């Protein structure tokens, strides 16, 4: 293996990180996520808002562009199926009976089939107030189209959709059945057969029940961000048996307040965990946002999720997705790291409540609202930026991130010998990137380095050497002359780059 090599004398083991701001945070270290592709449609155009909705299953993504003008009509909408490994567009999906203003693609979901909402569309049997379509994942062939026979012209059936193991739940947050904008949700199978209508115990005007939906196995969770139980637009969510339609639990946060809009986003994972967003929460300033993890069997709140750098207007919790491994990706489209409302997303461990990483696009810009839609599956996460301008104003885009699986620090000899050289090799890290080798005599303890946007595993870290550039393969080899010491000491090492850290390594320095 070829390495770029540098030799430096470790003249003091008391060097400080004077150019980096460190703060101790309760954040777990995880392997970093790399942006692997930026997704753009082959025929993107101004105003399409590609990335308004995203969904991922294994290595395939479906992305909605609800304001695509199609072939004949304005704002008919469309969706695209893409390969996440290559970033290639596989095919484009259009509704064969689509009309202007349908907004086909305003919501999308994918499992063994692709489910696409058109909240202003019409069904062939004359249903009004929105419709949803199910397609084959591999070729885009239509399987079924459904609507809500109880809907009225403004129900927005298809505003939210979710699919799992052949069953679908579809939200209609503007349905007026129980009062203006009280909302509704319905469960179907992929063939278009209605399985249940989800009827809650306390419907009320303005609740927007169905603004968000999730389904996993026999459970469905429905958000109602306009519910006023504990204040105007306090918000709530409901858990149902998807097959019988029976309400099992109503979920409310322990510290909610008026305007939090709890329930604006919902997600379900393997087991009995739900994550529910409250983008109007004010813990880190007005509309900074938050999210909560619940046990859906009991309705018990387990943990509240807040980003390490939340700020007013971030609207963290606007979008949420969970992987079966217990990682949640949460969007904050109002984050300003790359300019006003440029947006960001965060990955959390839902079991511990710890933030793992913050995701930012390589070319983020003001107004993009990266994080307005998110989806995670396995090691892939896709984040939508519906107002990106690459194909014209508000044409939209999406970004693919993949968790890094090769990123190592090795040390020779083991243990290190005082007064002799030690060889430190960074292997398959980020290429052509400034790299620091850090050490600690204190041991382990999570430390957040804000300028590099990383959390390292070392307590009270110091600089051994850096910055040095890795080579084109992400490799760097450093030869460090060890100081003399009167007795054995334990030393922990870790290498760090912007948005990237290696494994930590414990060794000893022997006299």
pLDDT digits (tens, 9 = 90+) for 14-37: 333 333 333 333 333 345 688 899
What is residue 405's predicted lDDT score, i.e. its pLDDT? 67
Lowest model confidence (mean pLDDT) among 60-64, 402-406, 434-438, 472-476: 402-406
**Residue 2: pLDDT over 50:** no
Task: State how far the Cα of 115 lies from the Cα of 83, in Å rounded to an integer.
Answer: 17
What is residue 9's predicted lDDT score, i.e. its pLDDT? 39
**Residue 260: pLDDT over 90:** yes
**Residue 49: pLDDT over 90:** yes
What is residue 31's predicted lDDT score, i.e. its pLDDT? 53
Q: Which two tokens stand for residue 48?
A: 């399409």
467 within 8 A of 430, measured Cβ to Cβ: no
Q: Which of 87, 81, 83, 76 is nearest to 47 (CA)?
A: 76
In this predicted model, which residue has the larger pLDDT, 5 or 449?
449
Lowest model confidence (mean pLDDT) among 87-96, 404-413, 485-494: 404-413
pLDDT digits (tens, 9 = 90+) for 305-359: 999 889 999 999 999 999 988 899 999 999 999 999 999 999 998 988 988 888 9
Per the prediction, the chain carries an average pLDDT of 89
**Residue 391: pLDDT over 60:** yes
* Sheet hosting strand 33-39, strand order edge to edge: 33-39, 397-403, 380-385, 373-377
169 within 8 A of 214, measured Cβ to Cβ: yes
Q: Which two tokens stand for residue 309?
A: 């750098």
DSSP string, 141-170: -EEEEE--TT--TT--TTSEEEEETTEEEE
What is residue 376's predicted lDDT score, i.e. its pLDDT? 97
What is residue 444's predicted lDDT score, i.e. its pLDDT? 81
Mean pLDDT score, 167-178: 94
- pLDDT band (50, 70, 90) for residue 507: confident
Mean pLDDT score, 138-162: 91
Spatial CB neighbours of 137, under 8 Å, sequence gap ≥ 6: 57, 60, 81, 110, 112, 113, 114
pLDDT digits (tens, 9 = 90+) for 200-217: 999 999 999 999 999 999
The continuous run of DSSP H or E covering 412 comes out as strand 408-412
Mean pLDDT score, 397-418: 85
Mean pLDDT score, 444-462: 87
Mean pLDDT score, 403-419: 82
CATH 2.30.30.240 fits 5-28+406-510, yes or no: no
Fold agreement (5-28+406-510, 48-313): no
In this predicted model, which residue has the larger pLDDT, 262 or 362?
262
Domain borders along the chain are: 5-28+406-510, 48-313
In this predicted model, which residue has the larger pLDDT, 456 or 280?
280
Q: Which of 346, 315, 348, 321 is nearest to 333 (CA)?
A: 315
Tell me 343's DSSP state.
B
- pLDDT band (50, 70, 90) for residue 265: very high
Task: State how far the Cα of 350 lies from the Cα of 268, in Å rounded to an integer.
Answer: 11
**Residue 78: pLDDT over 60:** yes
Burial class of residue 18 in the structure, from the number of CB atoms within 10 Å of its CB (0-12 exposed, 13-18 middle, 19+ buried) = exposed
Q: Which CATH class is domain 48-313?
A: mainly beta
- Determine what percent of the chain falls in helix, strand and coil, rounding each to the nearest 5: 0, 50, 50
Backbone torsions φ then ψ of 34, nearest 5 degrees:
-105, 140
Task: State how far the Cα of 60 lies from the Cα of 52, in Å rounded to an integer.
Answer: 17
Beta strands in 306-350 (DSSP E): 319-322, 327-332, 344-349
What is residue 21's predicted lDDT score, i.e. its pLDDT? 35
Lowest model confidence (mean pLDDT) among 144-153, 175-184, 482-491: 144-153
Torsion angle of the four alpha carbons 463, 406, 350, 457, in this order, in degrees rounded to the nearest 10: -20
Lowest model confidence (mean pLDDT) among 250-254, 372-376, 394-398, 504-508: 504-508
Spatial CB neighbours of 449, under 8 Å, sequence gap ≥ 6: 17, 20, 21, 22, 455, 456, 496
Paired strand residues for 310: none
357 Cα distance to chain centroid: 10
What is residue 32's predicted lDDT score, i.e. its pLDDT? 64
Mean pLDDT score, 136-163: 91
* Sheet hosting strand 78-83, strand order edge to edge: 53-57, 60-65, 78-83, 89-93
Backbone torsions φ then ψ of 98, nearest 5 degrees:
-65, 150
């Amino acid at each position: 293996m070829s390495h770029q090599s540098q030799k430096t004398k470790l003249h003091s083991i008391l060097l400080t990180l004077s150019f980096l701001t460190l703060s101790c945070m309760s954040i777990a270290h995880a392997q970093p996520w790399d942006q692997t592709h930026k997704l753009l449609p082959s025929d993107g155009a101004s105003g399409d808002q590609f990335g308004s909705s995203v969904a991922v299953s294994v290595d395939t993504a479906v992305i909605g562009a609800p304001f695509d003008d199609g072939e004949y009509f304005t704002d008919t909408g469309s969706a695209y199926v893409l390969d996440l490994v290559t970033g290639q567009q596989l095919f484009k999906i259009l509704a064969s009976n689509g009309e202007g203003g349908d907004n086909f693609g305003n919501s999308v979901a994918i499992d063994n089939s692709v489910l696409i909402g058109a909240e202003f569309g019409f069904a062939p049997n004359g249903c009004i107030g929105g419709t949803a379509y199910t397609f084959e994942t591999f070729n885009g062939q239509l399987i079924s189209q459904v609507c809500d026979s109880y809907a009225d012209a403004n129900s927005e059936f298809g505003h939210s959709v979710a699919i799992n193991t052949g069953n679908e739940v579809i939200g209609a947050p503007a349905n007026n059945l129980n009062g203006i904008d009280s909302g509704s949700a319905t469960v179907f199978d992929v063939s278009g057969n209605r399985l249940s209508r989800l009827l809650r115990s306390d419907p009320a005007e303005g609740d927007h029940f169905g603004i968000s939906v999730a389904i996993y196995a026999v459970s469905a969770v429905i958000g109602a961000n306009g519910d006023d139980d504990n204040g105007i637009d306090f918000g709530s969510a409901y858990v149902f048996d998807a097959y019988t339609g029976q309400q099992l639990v109503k979920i409310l946060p322990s510290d909610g307040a008026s305007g939090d809009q709890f329930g604006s986003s919902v997600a379900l994972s393997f087991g009995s965990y739900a994550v529910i967003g409250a983008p109007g929460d004010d813990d880190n300033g007005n509309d900074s946002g938050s999210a909560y993890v619940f046990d859906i069997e009991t309705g018990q709140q387990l943990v509240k999720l807040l980003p390490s750098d939340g700020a007013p207007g971030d609207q963290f919790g606007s979008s949420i997705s969970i992987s079966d491994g217990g990682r949640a990706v949460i969007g904050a489209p109002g984050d300003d790291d790359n300019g006003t409302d440029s947006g960001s997303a965060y990955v959390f461990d839902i079991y511990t409540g710890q933030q793992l990483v913050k995701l930012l696009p390589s070319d983020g810009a003001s107004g993009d609202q990266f994080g307005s839609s998110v989806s995670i599956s396995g090691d892939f996460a896709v984040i939508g930026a519906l107002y990106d301008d690459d194909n014209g104003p508000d044409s939209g885009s999406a970004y693919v991130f993949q968790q890094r699986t090769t990123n190592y620090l090795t040390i020779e000899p083991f243990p290190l010998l005082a007064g002799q050289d030690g060889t430190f090799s960074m292997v398959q890290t980020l290429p052509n990137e400034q790299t620091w080798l850090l050490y600690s005599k204190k041991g382990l303890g999570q430390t957040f380095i804000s300028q590099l946007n990383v959390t390292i595993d070392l307590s009270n870290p110091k600089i051994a050497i850096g910055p040095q550039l890795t080579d084109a393969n992400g490799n760097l080899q450093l030869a460090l002359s060890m100081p003399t010491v009167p007795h054995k000491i334990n030393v922990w090492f870790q290498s760090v780059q912007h948005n990237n850290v290696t494994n930590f390594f414990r060794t000893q320095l022997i006299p």
